[in-house]
């Protein structure tokens, strides 16, 4: 059986490392590769795939495209407005979003008390998934800090589709401080200016969805605080993908260790 991760750029992806470690732990003779697929190219790549293809991990900029392509999709993917997973079933490709439960699992693993108030930096597809994960954990108040309010429209719509519907405020990424129990960054490392980092200094938990480059400026400043990293998110969402693709329990420790080794080698 064959699986792959699709996106652009894709060379940095650790998904092949994680999934192959899972296959090795189970003795599965499966393949998992990375494929460069630009925006608008998902249907052209997926359409010709043969029956030996079982699952696809989907990263930027294809997550919303994948949701539209899927023959059916889960409630989580519909709520997020994005699919990071396509699973081949008899009826066709089914869209799923493992970013949402993966982010929730990553936070639960590192943080004892569930957050009540949170700030998210950024307003794209990953921010929407992070917001829904926070909603699942019981957050009652969310602040989205974005470059322009228009960038938050899809994320606001996703939050509104969640049954909890927490209080949401949109603020300026350029000027406003992060507030609450946790700050989740979905922005590039290059956008984490010293000024922005300083405005996040009072939040006790820092969750940066990036894993390459690592550590980011935001994480470097949080040495005395709780840090949840992009590898945590990547592993937990990959564990769920692995189980959807193979029907077997994912070897979490083996997959995490393989990812950590790969990151150490890169650095």
Candidates 63, 64, 88, 236; catalytic one: 63
Distance of alpha carbon 180 from alpha carbon 26, whole angstroms: 41
- 18 Cβ neighbours under 8 A, 6+ residues apart: 234, 235, 238, 242, 255, 258, 259
Q: How far apart are the C-alpha atoms of 138 and 99, rounded to whole Å? A: 17
247 is catalytic: no
| Integer Cα distance of 174 and 193 in angstroms | 10
Active site residues: 63
């Amino acid at each position: 059986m064959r699986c792959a991760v699709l996106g652009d750029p894709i060379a940095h992806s650790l998904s092949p490392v994680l999934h192959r470690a899972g296959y090795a732990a189970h003795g599965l003779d499966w393949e998992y590769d990375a494929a460069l697929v630009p925006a608008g190219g998902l249907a052209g790549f997926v359409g010709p795939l043969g029956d030996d293809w079982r699952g696809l991990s989907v990263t930027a900029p294809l997550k919303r495209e994948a949701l539209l392509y899927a023959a059916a999709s889960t409630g989580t993917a519909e709520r997020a407005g994005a699919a990071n997973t396509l699973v081949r079933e008899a009826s066709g490709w089914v869209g799923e979003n493992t970013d949402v439960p993966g982010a929730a699992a990553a936070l639960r693993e590192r943080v004892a008390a569930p957050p009540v108030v949170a700030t998210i930096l950024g307003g794209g597809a990953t921010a929407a998934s992070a917001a829904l994960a926070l909603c699942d954990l019981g957050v009652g108040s969310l602040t989205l800090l974005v470059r322009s309010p228009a960038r938050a429209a899809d994320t606001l719509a996703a939050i509104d589709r969640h049954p909890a519907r927490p209080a949401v405020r949109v603020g300026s990424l350029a000027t406003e401080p992060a507030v609450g129990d946790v700050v989740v960054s979905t922005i590039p490392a290059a956008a984490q200016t010293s000024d922005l980092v300083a405005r996040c200094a009072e939040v006790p938990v820092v969750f940066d969805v990036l894993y390459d480059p690592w550590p980011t400026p935001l994480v470097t400043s949080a040495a005395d605080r709780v840090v949840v990293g992009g590898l945590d998110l990547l592993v937990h969402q990959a564990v769920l993908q692995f189980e959807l693709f193979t029907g077997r329990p994912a070897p979490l420790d083996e997959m995490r260790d393989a990812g950590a080794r790969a990151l150490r080698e890169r650095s």
